[in-house]
Structure 1
Amino acid sequence: MSSFYGQDFYSELRKKYWEYEENDDKAFNYINLYITTAKKQKNYSELFQAYDDAIRFSSQNKLKYADSAIAAAKLSGNNDLIGNAYLGKGTVYYFTYRKFQPALNEYLKADKYLLYSNDYFLKYQNLYHIGVVKSYLGYYKEASEIFIKCIKFFESNLQKDVHPNILFNNRRGYYNSLHQLIVCYQGLKQFQAAELLINKALKNIPDEAEFFQEKSYFYKSLGVNDFYFKRYDNSLYNLQRSLSGLKKVNDFSWSSVVYFYLGQSHSKKGNTGKSLENYRKVDSIFNKYSYIIPEVRNNYEELINHYKQSKNPQKELYYTKQLLKVDSVLSYDFKYLSNKIHKDYETKTLLAAKAQLEKKNSTSNILLIISVLLSGILICMVLYWFRRKIEIQKKYDHLIHEINSSKVEETVSNTSAREKNSKLDSGVVSNLNKKFAEFEKNKGFLEKGVTAGRLAIEFETNATYLSQFMNEFKESNFNTYINKLRIKYAADQIYRHKDWRKYSVEDIAIACGFSNRQSFSNFFYEQNGIRPAEFLKRVREEVMVEKIAD
């Protein structure tokens, strides 16, 4: 924190409530007096400090106090306090709600205010949180480099003769950075390196209540390592030890990881019942918070495989739908976070580095050459994007025209000509024409797993006649014919029915009889020259424009 020191009155008040545990509302007996006094005195730096402390001790209103802290910091006019306030709000979003998108937005705001700050604790604290986002996205190598820097900084301040609160914050920064570096090493499958850090952390971490949460993280990490080293009894023991500390602060994110690995370890020991019990706890957390760490995604594959093998289609379907929701949450988060962190953070970092280089060597032409090359690449990318956009728009317009035209596929004269030249008996042709018309009208093509053999039986004909009819009158083989009908139906439903526009591509694929998203997307593109995701997006945009125009 930036504002530990103030008038004696404020310092004495802080001492009175600082002994309370996090999320203990009894601290507000003193914090409210702190807030009232700072307001009366218009002491905005102390008012910020009061609201910042309120975030720590409030059990229900952390976001409210985070917004108040930002308002007080802005009134102070101190960029360090403003950056600290945005950092505090980002931490609430991240730790309390595990909402990475709004958390990252706040961290990036903080970064702007702290860019030229001399408060290195705040700068490294914000850098740590950006590293957490990178780790969540799976950029373990980049994130590990950030956490190594943070560890060096926080560790260098542990031996200094400083105020106890500053020492406490540096200790927490050190152990949290150490934990996140361990997570990166485990993500990179460097389990030996992870174990060395875990043992170091558990040996040195203070045996005090304030660090109970951090100790739980290291027991969790040790349990994960035990699992990968096939020490399943140790894994169960250490994972179970970690749960009490995680539950105490409602850290549902790492709790879900613990339950997943408990399930994995029980599975390896042959305890199917306990394994499923823990997998279901992961699902319960996801249902409650709509949040999941990517490495826990396999939890649903384990459940799906179990219920498939035990022939329980209801449970298999439920967890299949849950996995689709998980993938939807992850893909939405990943797309947003990855774009945001590279656009708002990486670009800014590169520009800052460029400015430093220009100061050191103003006569250098290297940057000019690089800029020209980058500009050329950027222009090529923009031109490609522009041409691709025009091409997609043409394909989209053509598809919409086909949907609206509702044209008859073939004229009567053409049909008669085909019948005259057909090798099939006219009675067979007439019967199959009627059967196929009923089949298309009743949307029989939507049924998953429909085959030519089964259809031949239903049409009271044989496979040879059906195949001959398909070649002569449908001008395609059976699979192509079915997929064309499905794709045409999907496009029509998306365009004409607003409820279908709410569905994901995966849900539409399944509803139209495809076994997976990829095959649906490939056939849709092959038939229309545009991916279903792009078609959905454009239909939604078109509807939105029409609403605004109205």
Structure 2
Amino acid sequence: MPKGFSVIFLFFSLFLSALEKERQDYGTIRKTYENLLKNDERAMPFVNKYIRKAKKEKDFEHLTQGYRDAVFFIKNEEKKLIYSDSMIYAALKSRDNDLIGLAYLGKGIIYYFNYKKFDDALNEYLKAYEHLKNTDDEYLKYKVIYHMGVVKSYLGYFSESKDHFEECLKFFSNKSGKKLHPNEVFNNKRGYFNTLHQLIICHRNLKNYAVADSLLDVGLREIVGKEEFRLEKSYFLKCKGISEYNHQNYKGAIDILNKAIPEILKVNDFATLSLIYSYLGRSYYKVDRDKERALNYFKKVDTIFNKQNFILPETRSNYEILINFYRKQKNTEKELLYTKQLLSVDSLLGKEFNFLTSRIHKEYDTKSLLDKRDVLERKNFFTWLLVIFFICLSAIFLTLYIFKYKKNKQMIIKYHALQKKLEKRHIESKEEPTFSEEKQSIISQEIYNDLVSKFKKFEEKEEFTTIGLTLNLLAAQFNTNTTYLSTFINETKGVNFKNYLNGLRIDYITNLLNTDRKYLNFTFDALAEKCGIATRQNFSDLFYEINGIRPKDFIKKKKEEQKNNDVK
């Protein structure tokens, strides 16, 4: 027994050891790669192990983290986007608003930094903010606000983005001085420097140069000696170089801008690089005689534009300098090349920076040849536009004419049909209703005969023209009840009381219009009142319903007919 027990115990220990290895905790796995740099794919085998473990355990919180790590360490930009979608899926499964917001934020950063798709990035940031606006994690919320401000700044909404950054700067400033975990201190300090950098950009573009320079001095002073923020310092140096250029210190600008390049190259921030190259080109253009070095920097910006399909509005003037330079050199080939590039740049800016583009002053006049081409194309376009307009106008008039012709033809047919109906009414004698036992329900012979006599007088005296006449009023007038009255009308007239009364009134007024020309000049209100109908609209509708033609059309045709007869 002891020996058997030992074997079982050994087997059980080995099983637990294997199980423990399989159940290696998430923190242990992450320690194998968390100190590697961004885009270092050596982390991916361990990241995939982390993801597999989270999938197996259906731990969506850790699965979200795993996909987030994959986005950070994978180098391929398309795969970053794929992993970000998986991160969003896992976060949504977790039903944790903080994780969902973080996932949308991550995808937005990829759109912004890797693709420069600003509208797409802003959409993701807005989704993130919806999930994080009530979060207890204030750092996460302000991180989203910061990135929304960055995109708005790139799109040219500098006043709006400035408000975002001022709000973030206040938060990061307050947090930086508090006792926090070293990682939190680092994140808040980096948030502070990045926000300060973005505020400088906003004020510079809003032409608040004094404010921008003041904030820049603060940033450069506070970042001294902080080696962990070398990249952030490079962004401040970039701003300082631009400021020196604006103060016409071109040699100083060249020196400072060159110092900013190395760290920015490491992270492949091609947007900032294109801006630095642009100001280096402008500075060299001011100090060099041969201009060749300046032109090379402008061409570097053009290379970024061709490769990334991206350009900042601030670098647009490079192309104007290139075009003017080659025009003076009488190098038509290169002048045309950069003219075409400028047209492509404006086309892209029109799409990506629609708000800002409208404010860019375009000083350069396009090459005369292209101008003539555009004029001819525009002239041809407007010619065709004019032709199309007249074709459409003719089609409209023709349609209206056909419609009017058909309508008039239908009106004539209806008018003659009504005339025949009126003639038939005049010729036919009205037979008095006779009592029938087959139809009898509740009315006796005596009551029936009495009602026949009263209805005859009612119609002869045209009492139906009384406005507001109801079944109850008529029953009281005939000294009977509504049941007898309603039954009599249904059995002898074949309609209910309302339709019987409307028929009498319309027949009456139609006959007057047809036989007495003075009524043709009455207003509809007067005609309605004459036959006992309360409103002109009701009169018009009933006339059309019973006669099949509108009263205005009947009157019009009747007047035409009488005019023709008068001429004869």
TM-score of the superposed pair, with normalisation by structure 2: 0.58
Paired residues for 1:525-544 under 5 Å: 528=386
Q: Which residue of 2 aligns with 1:429?
A: none
C-alpha distance in 2, partners of 1:27/1:219?
Answer: 32
SS of the equivalent of 1:292 reads: coil
Q: CA deviation at 1:17?
A: 2.5
Aligned residues: 355
- Can you list the C-alpha shifts for 1:274-325, whole angstroms capped at 9, x where unaligned? 1001000000000000101111111111111111111111111111111111
C-alpha distance in 2, partners of 1:126/1:529?
Answer: 53
8 Å Cα contact 2:278/2:315 also seen in 1: yes
C-alpha distance in 1, partners of 2:238/2:228?
Answer: 18
C-alpha distance in 1, partners of 2:381/2:228?
Answer: 57
SS of the equivalent of 2:288 reads: coil
C-alpha distance in 2, partners of 1:206/1:30?
Answer: 37
Q: Which residue of 1 aligns with 2:322?
A: 303
Q: CA deviation at 1:78?
A: 1.0
> Paired residue for 2:255, among 233, 237, 245?
237
Q: Which residue of 1 aligns with 2:166?
A: 148
Q: Which residue of 1 aligns with 2:207?
A: 189
Q: Which amino acid aligns with 1:274?
A: R
- 1:294 equivalent to 2:313? Answer yes
> Paired residue for 1:104, among 122, 126, 134?
122
- Can you list the C-alpha shifts for 1:436-467, whole angstroms capped at 9, x where unaligned? xxxxxxxxxxxx979xxxxxxxxxxxxxxxxx
Q: CA deviation at 1:525?
A: 9.5
- Can you list the C-alpha shifts for 1:190-214, whole angstroms capped at 9, x where unaligned? 2332222222222223756642221
The alpha-carbon distance between structure 1 residues 449 and 202, as it changes in their structure 2 partners (threshold 3 A), is: closer
Q: Which amino acid aligns with 2:136?
A: N
SS of the equivalent of 2:353 reads: helix
The alpha-carbon distance between structure 1 residues 160 and 51, as it changes in their structure 2 partners (threshold 3 A), is: farther
8 Å Cα contact 1:449/1:513 also seen in 2: no
- 1:36 equivalent to 2:52? Answer yes
- Can you list the C-alpha shifts for 1:19-48, whole angstroms capped at 9, x where unaligned? 222222223343233222222222111111
Q: Which residue of 1 aligns with 2:351?
A: 332
The alpha-carbon distance between structure 1 residues 8 and 154, as it changes in their structure 2 partners (threshold 3 A), is: farther
C-alpha distance in 2, partners of 1:295/1:145?
Answer: 22
Identity %: 46
C-alpha distance in 2, partners of 1:72/1:97?
Answer: 23
- Can you list the C-alpha shifts for 1:408-446, whole angstroms capped at 9, x where unaligned? xxxxxxxxxxxxxxxxxxxxxxxxxxxxxxxxxxxxxxx
Q: Which residue of 2 aligns with 1:3?
A: none
C-alpha distance in 1, partners of 2:263/2:236?
Answer: 11
Q: Which residue of 1 aligns with 2:454?
A: none
8 Å Cα contact 2:156/2:353 also seen in 1: no
Q: Which residue of 1 aligns with 2:12?
A: none
The alpha-carbon distance between structure 1 residues 210 and 72, as it changes in their structure 2 partners (threshold 3 A), is: farther
Who wins on radius of gyration, i.e. which is larger?
2
Q: CA deviation at 1:513?
A: 4.5
Q: CA deviation at 1:8?
A: 9.9
Q: Which residue of 2 aligns with 1:120?
A: 138
8 Å Cα contact 2:157/2:355 also seen in 1: no
Q: Which amino acid aligns with 2:170?
A: K
SS of the equivalent of 2:176 reads: coil
Q: Which amino acid aligns with 1:211?
A: F
Paired residues for 1:51-200 under 5 Å: 51-60=67-76, 61-200=79-218
Q: Which residue of 2 aligns with 1:228?
A: 246
C-alpha distance in 2, partners of 1:129/1:89?
Answer: 12
- 1:49 equivalent to 2:65? Answer yes
Q: Which residue of 1 aligns with 2:300?
A: 281
RMSD, aligned CA = 3.0
The alpha-carbon distance between structure 1 residues 161 and 65, as it changes in their structure 2 partners (threshold 3 A), is: farther
Q: CA deviation at 1:336?
A: 9.0
Q: Which moved more, 1:219-228 or 1:195-204?
A: 195-204
- Can you list the C-alpha shifts for 1:140-199, whole angstroms capped at 9, x where unaligned? 222212111111111211123333333332222211111110111111222332222222
C-alpha distance in 2, partners of 1:29/1:198?
Answer: 43
- 1:524 equivalent to 2:382? Answer yes
Q: Which residue of 2 aligns with 1:203?
A: 221
Q: Which has the higher contact order (CA 8 A, sep 6+)?
A: 1
The alpha-carbon distance between structure 1 residues 168 and 241, as it changes in their structure 2 partners (threshold 3 A), is: same
Q: Which residue of 2 aligns with 1:539?
A: none
The alpha-carbon distance between structure 1 residues 110 and 274, as it changes in their structure 2 partners (threshold 3 A), is: same
Q: CA deviation at 1:526?
A: 12
Q: CA deviation at 1:134?
A: 2.0
Q: CA deviation at 1:121?
A: 1.8
Q: Which residue of 1 aligns with 2:496?
A: none
The alpha-carbon distance between structure 1 residues 308 and 124, as it changes in their structure 2 partners (threshold 3 A), is: same
Q: Which moved more, 1:21-30 or 1:87-96?
A: 21-30
Q: Which amino acid aligns with 1:164?
A: P
> Paired residue for 2:341, among 322, 325, 341?
322
- Can you list the C-alpha shifts for 1:464-486, whole angstroms capped at 9, x where unaligned? xxxxxxxxxxxxxxxxxxxxxxx
Q: Which residue of 1 aligns with 2:463?
A: none
C-alpha distance in 2, partners of 1:522/1:162?
Answer: 69
C-alpha distance in 1, partners of 2:182/2:223?
Answer: 16
Q: CA deviation at 1:330?
A: 0.9
> Paired residue for 2:36, among 17, 20, 37?
20
Q: Which amino acid aligns with 2:219?
A: A
C-alpha distance in 1, partners of 2:345/2:85?
Answer: 31
- Can you list the C-alpha shifts for 1:376-427, whole angstroms capped at 9, x where unaligned? xxxxxxxxxxxxxxxxxxxxxxxxxxxxxxxxxxxxxxxxxxxxxxxxxxxx
Unaligned runs of 5+ in 1: 1-6, 339-447, 451-506, 532-550
SS of the equivalent of 2:25 reads: helix
C-alpha distance in 2, partners of 1:68/1:141?
Answer: 35
8 Å Cα contact 1:524/1:530 also seen in 2: no
The alpha-carbon distance between structure 1 residues 337 and 194, as it changes in their structure 2 partners (threshold 3 A), is: closer
8 Å Cα contact 1:259/1:279 also seen in 2: yes
C-alpha distance in 2, partners of 1:24/1:206?
Answer: 29
Paired residues for 1:441-452 under 5 Å: none
